[in-house]
Amino acid sequence: MPQGSDCQSLVPFPRWVAAPGNPGPSQVATLQRPPKEPSRSKGSRATRASAATREAAAQFSARAGGLSFLEATAVRPIQVKDYQRRFDELLEFVRVRRLPVANVDDLEAALLEWGDEAFLAGRQRHDGDKLKAAVLHFYPSLRRPNTKPLARFERALRSWGRKRPLLGRLPAPYPAICGVVVALYVRGHLHAAIACLVGLSAYLRPGELCGLRAKDLVAPAPGYGEAYRCWSLILGASDLGDGTKTGVYDDNVRLDHEELQFIGPFLADLKSRRHPEDCLWDFTQVDLNRWMGQASRDAGVEQLGIVPYALRHSGPSWDVLTGRRHLAEVQRRGRWASPASLARYEKSSKITEQLSHLSAETASFLQVSARDLGAILQGGQRPPQPPGLRRDNTSSTFSRAVVEWRDPSRVQV
């Protein structure tokens, strides 16, 4: 094996994951948000690290191939766990095939062999991208000035992507989202229905939506002018020390869709019932996943795959299709780092085509739902019966919603 500056020696393979004395990923996850014990110097804006943070940092060492405290906590705990899972897969691959891993060339050869096998097994390129990110997280010294880490593996990843392009799921049409929202309401999940509309308007990821606190919802102040008339959200709140996925803190998104302004009173009621630090919703992400799956079946649009993450994709497609926003504004609002992420939202014809495959009964339900959504949720109009929800097999769920439609406050989550 060639030696020299181009062939960096590696710490023994298992120690990439956790060097002696370093906590493993499960311990790192508990250190992401240590208890707040701020101590401000008089006349200084700096905040000293809390005792808990100092104690946590003392467990790390960047020597002997380990990670420093700041390196180990540079990504979110859930991401560390994913990196660990993917790295363990590589460890097992190397163990089973008895591959040498004495230096960077060996490592890259192992990654290339893993990539060939994963490609032939039908996996997508993003699995390779995430494994590369995991390796660079656990062994950051691979990053050197003026060099591209793992350049051969990166070239193989580009070839992988060309041979098997990722076909992302199309965003759901706005009428289909409305149908799911009405089906949630008919099932008695009013707050979940409102949450879906918030996620649709603000392009929220499921974690962002379900993690909203009462204080993250900002009430309008119309007395100060037109710019302040809408409800807005604060994402990646700095007081939690946990920014958005792209590393932005205290990002602001206005809920400015005219068609959805009717949700204002619902938001005001939710905010008034919660302590500022409490979660805005009284359901979990698991609940929302289950309820939206059920509502999709009720609405007759199960084949469109409308899950909580679909809200993040459907909001931008709705805005682009109606000409409400240009792609550059959609990118800023959705907190996407790259314009390439927006390609799917330009496929308006493919998105609209999805509606042509629905049954006449489902199409009628979606049309009424989209046209009268505000009146239905506010109790001013009787909700239409979802085509997949039958009176004879739902324990009178639909009839109960009809009885209560005049008073939405009686429909509890």
Instruction: Count the Cβ atoms, other than its own, within 10 Å of residue 127.
Output: 18
| CA–CA dist 170, 246 (Å, integer) | 23
DSSP category for residue 42: T
| CA–CA dist 178, 84 (Å, integer) | 39
Instruction: Count the Cβ atoms, other than its own, within 10 Å of residue 79.
Output: 17
> Is residue 329 a contact partner of residue 337, using CB atoms and an 8 Å limit?
no
- Spell out the domains of the chain, with CATH numbers in brackets: 13-35+50-163 (no CATH), 174-410 (1.10.443.10)
pLDDT at 236: 85
Burial class (CB in 10 A: 0-12, 13-18, 19+), 160: buried
Q: Which residues of 359-371 are buried (b: 16+ CB within 10 A; e: fewer)?
A: eeebbebbebbbe
- Give, to the nearest 10 degrees, the angle between helix 174-186 and helix 348-356: 50
> Is residue 41 a contact partner of residue 66, using CB atoms and an 8 Å limit?
no
Edge-first strand order for the sheet with 232-235 is 217-218, 232-235, 251-254
The angle subtended at Cα 39 by Cα 34 and Cα 40, nearest 5°, is: 130
pLDDT at 12: 41
| CA–CA dist 171, 258 (Å, integer) | 21
| CA–CA dist 182, 299 (Å, integer) | 8
pLDDT at 73: 79
pLDDT at 184: 97
- At residue 6, the 3 state secondary structure works out as coil
User: What sign does the CA torsion over 128, 134, 135, 140 have?
Assistant: positive
Query: pLDDT averaged over consecutive 10-residue blocks of the chain (413 residues)?
Result: 39 40 41 41 51 76 72 80 92 93 90 96 93 91 83 95 78 95 96 97 94 95 90 87 70 94 96 95 95 96 92 91 91 85 71 88 96 95 90 45 44 41
